Amino acid sequence: MSSHEFSRVKMPAPSEADLVRRSELWAHSVIVYQRVCVTKGQLPRALVSLSQDPAQRQNLFDTIAPWMVLKLRCQELIARCSEAVLANGMRSMSLDQERALDILLRTYEGQIDELELQAVTDEERFDTGLCRLAIQTFHLYKIQTLVSSAFYPRLLVTACSLIDYVQSLADRLGCLAMCPVQMGFAILLASTSLLRILKSNTASHGLETTRARAAVFTAINMAKQMTVDSADMAAKTVTILNSVWNSSRAFRKADGGEYTALRIRSRLVLSPILDTVWWWRDEFDPPSRTMRSIIEPSDGKVFMRSRYSVATDAGAGAAVDANRDFSGGMVPSTGMPEQNNAFHLDEQFLADFEWALGDDALFSLDPLPANWAPANLL
């Protein structure tokens, strides 16, 4: 609204249409910025810190369309919740911190209830559903009160509902190969959350596991429809989800006991996704790979770089798993050509899933499996 400050000549006062256009552009910019931060596992700045005058925020909400206001409020809620979770502590929490986290998250979920009353279309329900799921996934950072807080049923319902909303949008879009990135992120977050529940004997007891399985199956099929290349994110998502589902070692300790804690605990909403990818890599990154680690000093710091080379037949097991559903049967064809799942685990693969390199990224709360080596932590 102050663009005239940068003009060499005096500019007339903006018209009402100009104010609306500028307000919508600002709202879009904030939404995209906050979404990118969330999907990259970084803390977004809240709107309160992006505007100098509190009255500007209300003027913004009064000017832009209601559906845009809802999107903005949903992203704002995730940003403020993420900031509060960080302030509470998330790397290693005491019992009191976990209880405080539970109260904090329930407070933010209550605010989502108010936003859901404003959602009337599938697109708006998608926004509120993703907002709720993003906040609920912070429960997964708990260890001592993970089961006793009884949040698993709520997480399951939210994840399944979000996948249903994406499916309804997909039915209208027709071609998922050009769907928004946010939709792919929602599918990945919901399906990995459901996998953690379904692979847990404690968490899945007494829950609607049939609905959860069907939702994961739907998510995998939608990811297949999003695939346009054998090495894109959607193709890797299909491989990882199928492989982890068919695995008997995922989310398990070396002695076979449940490993309920998140090992990746530094990437906020993205951590559950990255944690699932780490479990997949532990089992399906084949031992026949060759790895070359290079230590390069730079300004007194040490950086480690890894390159992976996978033989063509090394992904055969994963390729078979990727074509099967949870019951062991073949996944129905979606009309897309079959993909070659023997992709290379190179720097691009690591970048796609935003891997955090270094021992500090892997925060283990239980003894690591016996077959783990420092190289596995890269």
The predicted-structure confidence for 150-180, as pLDDT tens digits, reads as follows 889 999 999 999 999 999 888 888 888 888 8
One-letter identity of residue 144 = Q
Q: Provide the pLDDT for residue 312.
A: 31
Q: Which helix (H) or strand (E) segment is 322 a member of?
A: helix 316-322
Rounded Cα distance, 309 and 307, in Å? 7
CA–CA dist 76, 80 (Å, integer): 6
Q: Residue range 337-363: average pLDDT?
A: 47
CA-to-CA separations, 107 to 77, 235, 256, in angstroms, rounded: 11, 37, 36
Torsion angle of C-alpha atoms 96, 98, 101, 102, degrees rounded to 10: -110
Q: 8 or 319, which is more confident?
A: 8
Instruction: Work out the pLDDT band at 148, boundaries 50, 70, 90.
Output: confident
User: Where exactly are the structural domains of the chain?
Assistant: 1-144, 151-378
| Model confidence, pTM | 0.76
Mean pLDDT value across residues 216-243: 93
39 Cβ partners below 8 Å, 6+ apart? 181, 182, 185, 270
How confident is the model at residue 204, as a pLDDT? 62
Q: Which residue has the higher pLDDT, 1 or 35?
A: 35
For residue 340, what pLDDT band results from cuts at 50, 70 and 90? very low
Give yes or no for residue 108 having a pLDDT over 60.
Answer: yes
Taken in order 346, 349, 352, 354, the sign of the CA dihedral is negative
Q: What local confidence, expressed as pLDDT, does residue 353 receive? A: 59
Position 47 confidence tier, pLDDT thresholds 50, 70, 90: confident
Return the beta strands (E) in 230-366 as ranges. Answer: 290-298, 301-309
| Model confidence band, residue 282 (pLDDT cutoffs 50, 70, 90) | confident
What is the 3-class SS of 274-311, one letter each residue? HHHHHHHHHHHCCCCCEEEEEEEEECCEEEEEEEEECC
Predicted local confidence at residue 273, as pLDDT: 96
In this prediction, residue 52 carries a pLDDT of 62
The highest-confidence range among 106-120, 300-314, 333-347, 349-363, by mean pLDDT, is: 106-120
Triad 355, 359, 360: Cα angle to 5°: 85
279-304 mean pLDDT = 51
pLDDT level of residue 302 (50, 70, 90 thresholds): very low
Rounded to 5 degrees, what are φ and ψ at 268?
55, -125
| 39-44-49 Cα angle (round to 5) | 160
pLDDT for residue 350? 55
pLDDT in tens, 68-95: 999 999 999 999 999 999 999 988 899 9
Percent of the chain with pLDDT over 70: 72
**pLDDT tens across 202-211, in order?**
766 678 889 9
Looking at residue 369, what is its pLDDT? 45
- What is the torsion angle, in degrees rounded to the nearest 10, for the CA atoms of residue 14, residue 20, residue 21 and residue 27? 130
Q: What is the overall mean pLDDT for the chain?
A: 77
Q: Which residue has the higher pLDDT, 184 or 334?
A: 184
